[in-house]
Amino acid sequence: MVFGKRIPSHPRDLQAVAGEQHSSSPSAPRGKKQRETGTWAAASFLYPITGAEFQAAISLTINLVPYLAGTMHHSISESTKITNNFTGTCYILTVVGGFFADSYLGTYWTIAGGSVITALGLGLLTFTAAYQGLRPAECTPTATTHCSGAGVRDMAPLYVALYTIALGTGAVRPNTAAIGADQFDGSSDIEKEQGVRFFVWFYFFTNLGLLVAFTLGVYIQDNVGRGWGYGFSLALYLVAVLTFFLGSSRFRHKPPSGSFLTRIAQVVVASLRKLRLTIPDDTSELYNAALPGSDYLHHTSSFRFLDRAAIISATDREELQACETPTRWRLCCVTQVEESKRILQMLPIWATTAVVSIVFSQLSTFTVSQGSTLDRRLGSHFTVPSPSLNSIVVLVTLITAPIYDAIFVPFVRRYTHHPYGFSTLQRLGASITFAIVAMAIAALVEGRRIQDVRRLHLQQTPLGTFVLPMKMWWLVPQYVVSAMMELTLFISQYQFFYHEASDGTRSIASSFTYSASAMGYYLSTVLVDVTNRATRHQKGGSWLTGNLNDGGLEKFYWLLAVVLACDLVVFLVCSRLYTYKYDWYHEDVQQMPDCNGDSDFEGALSSPRPDVARAWELQ
């Protein structure tokens, strides 16, 4: 199966993959400032804030359902909805953070501002959890009694703290990935090879933060106190922010390129103004200058109606010959048109990979509730907190990520000749397959759990008030498969969205990884609501209300497996139709005349005529 097509590149030897520099294409001369900044020395200052930010967010999210249900006395379904909405908002705001970084502030200052906002949110959250006046009276539910949920007075400060954290997270999360990848110069063969590995280790340190959250963070919250647990996250985050600022002089800064939304609007308007013009068969007749702040992009055959924006009309020709600057609202260069096409082409891939994140929603909500009923004893004196079971996913990824980078990718590369081993779209397809398997295993395990519940006649007993003889190890298979899904999904998304975007949209494109997760969490909320409404008249009530001991969760997991299978089919179609950008790994960056019109007119009218080839045929 062909996963995407690409514009052909100028073939080059793969020796750079092994760390050797090509004599046939020497790196561009590099000044003293360039040599003293960037590369791993700069990227190392980003890893602490990446790990600490995820540690703070996940230690909050993973234990939020037990906190809302146990301390604030909301139902499991309502607590899950609040958690999913908060997590989804954290991810969706990364689009806003990426937009401001690309357009106005740059990645560095967006991270700086976002880190301060996040710290303020964590401080407020610590206060709300520690102050007893902001929680309802203690109450223990039974099979016959119900506890009233927290009111507006108790929930309002919590909501303010949560969404302040979400706002800061939206600014920090996508831009740490973007500024990190920017530290590796694409014109240097050595740095280009290092850049291939950056996202693997970025993902590794992300999971290192998750491991701290699932173990130490959760332990402090459950055994010392919520306030102490959130205070620990705040202290860790402040140390990481200080480390980030200490590395300021080592970073390579990419200036903002202006609003990409304006550039897309210019392409649309220019296309509409030239509806009556015929798109030339020879693409060299299009206005082929370069876009300031962006490398040259080859013309592609997708979304051909937008090519009208680059048609040189008689009026445009007169202006160019007179060396006048053409207005982009009437004439756009091919690179600007292709930048818009890239965003449009990536949207179907973004949407289909977003569905995969419904698995993460289950792991942090319903699976935690499942785990609270299992025998989680290790020895005679220690019981594993239910939220900490998610650390299995983290441990598996921490072990496999270095193996993936050092052994798996080089081995596969020998046969595929692709710098990543398998192409990004191939690995994204594999992640959806892992997601289907994970949900099928989860359904089978839940069916086994329900057998014990019914055998012991515990159907009406609230979660958290009983422990089944079923061991927690039953959850390990679904966690392991979920870890493989996460490994293939996130690394592939980081690489795909960053490298497929134009230079002026890489922060916003990096946010696509997180906004896809956001849509997955929102989709999970919608599916929970729709499922409950559709099944409310069944015997025993809705599948996902009450105490989850009537078998509804097992059916819901099977439903998710079917949804993911349908998503895989759609993804395969979208990936088959996708056209890759030029081969960034092997092809030298092409410098073209200035798109503003201060350029040689003849140079703006010539370019290579691309065909298409398989995505992994890079030799």
C-alpha–C-alpha distance, residues 540 and 542, integer Å: 7
Q: What is the pLDDT of residue 546?
A: 65
C-alpha–C-alpha distance, residues 352 and 447, integer Å: 28
pTM (predicted TM-score): 0.74
Q: Identify the bridge partners of residue 290 per DSSP, sorted by sequence position.
A: 594
C-alpha–C-alpha distance, residues 398 and 36, integer Å: 31
The domains found in the chain, sorted by start residue, are 5-12+38-256+340-580 (1.20.1250.20)
Instruction: Report pLDDT digits (tens) over 460-515.
Output: 777 767 888 888 888 889 999 999 998 899 888 888 888 888 877 888 888 888 88
- DSSP secondary structure letters along 469-519: SSBGGGGHHHHHHHHHHHHHHHHHHHHHHHHHS-GGGHHHHHHHHHHHHHH
User: What are the residues whose beta carbons fall under 8 Å from the beta carbon of 553, sequence distance 6 or more?
Assistant: 366, 370, 446, 543, 544
- Give me the residues of the chain with pLDDT under 70, please: 1-35, 73, 133-134, 137-151, 186-187, 189, 196, 290, 293, 464, 540-541, 546-547, 582-619
User: What are the residues whose beta carbons fall under 8 Å from the beta carbon of 161, sequence distance 6 or more?
Assistant: 121, 122, 124, 125, 127, 128
Per residue in 338-348, is it b (16+ CB within 10 Å) or e — as a string? bbbbbbebbeb
Q: What is the pLDDT of residue 5?
A: 56
User: What are the residues whose beta carbons fall under 8 Å from the beta carbon of 160, sequence distance 6 or more?
Assistant: 124
Instruction: Report pLDDT digits (tens) over 392-431.
Output: 888 888 888 888 888 888 888 888 877 778 888 999 999 9
Q: What is the pLDDT of residue 23?
A: 32
The three-class DSSP label of residue 22 is coil
